[in-house]
A = this chain, B = another copy of it.
Amino acid sequence: MDFSAFFPFWDQLQNDERTALEATAFKRHFRKGSILHRGNDECTGLLLVCSGQIRAFTSSPEGKEITLYRLLERDVCLMSASCIINSISFDITLAAEKDTEVIILSADVYKKIMQKSALLANFTNELMASRFSDVMWLIEQIMWKSFDKRLAAFLIEESNIEESTTLKITHETIGNHLGSPREVVTRMLKYFADENLVTLSRGTVTLKDPQTLSKLAY
């Protein structure tokens, strides 16, 4: 396992620190659609994403969802090991959006080393700040942006990730990403179709005019 791909300062850690972290590490595969970590689970451990794509979301007591951020190859997931930091008082769920391979590191061992190692503690700071920034961006989107712009931005982002203008995605799944009821998504997609921005068929949204969608989104 190549830890320096995830921890740029890996070589600067002390020998015993590296050995302790390596000793706890194991690889695990998650099928597309499976749950890697559930909100109120015990500490699953740090996840180092080797390949695939993970969606982090929060949900209401009634099961409504909104996507907080995504993790891609080479990302490190701290929130699956939130027991590392006492002041984290929220729960998120992590789901594999594609077949995903992760390395799992023990939260206990990581925490113990972080308490002594300024390198690891500062790295953890930067990790958390990145996710915090993602969530602040989301608040600004929810508060100040109209739904047509948010939906357009989501379709463009999906299209970039999938490297395709044909998206296999249901209106309900889009609603779960954006925290909106399915009917609201359907209504806006129909409006986009009327405007010749997309074409719709069962389980598929095709971007017909990505350029205009991009202009609408930003």
Residues of A within 8 A of B (CB): 58, 60-62, 64, 66, 68, 85-90, 114-118, 121-122, 124-133, 135-140, 142-144, 179
**CB <8 Å contact, A121 and B125:** yes
Chain A binding surface SS class:
helix
Q: In the assembled complex, which residues on chain B have CB atoms less than 8 Å from the CB atom of A140?
A: 58, 60, 90
User: Given known contacts A121-B121, A135-B136, is B66 in contact with A143 (CB within 8 Å)?
Assistant: yes
Measured between alpha carbons, how far is A125 from B129 in the docked complex, in Å? 9
- 25 A-B pairs with CB atoms under 8 Å apart are A58-B143, A60-B144, A62-B144, A66-B139, A66-B143, A85-B126, A86-B129, A88-B132, A90-B137, A90-B140, A115-B118, A115-B122, A118-B118, A121-B121, A121-B122, A125-B125, A125-B128, A128-B129, A128-B132, A131-B132, A132-B132, A135-B139, A139-B139, A142-B143, A143-B179
Measured CB to CB, the nearest residue on chain B to A136 is B90
Q: In the assembled complex, which residues on chain B have CB atoms less than 8 Å from the CB atom of A60?
A: 140, 143-144
Q: In the assembled complex, which residues on chain B have CB atoms less than 8 Å from the CB atom of A116?
A: 118
Q: How far is the CB of A112 from chain B (nearest CB, A)?
A: 11
Q: In the assembled complex, which residues on chain B have CB atoms less than 8 Å from the CB atom of A139?
A: 58, 66, 68, 135, 138-139, 142
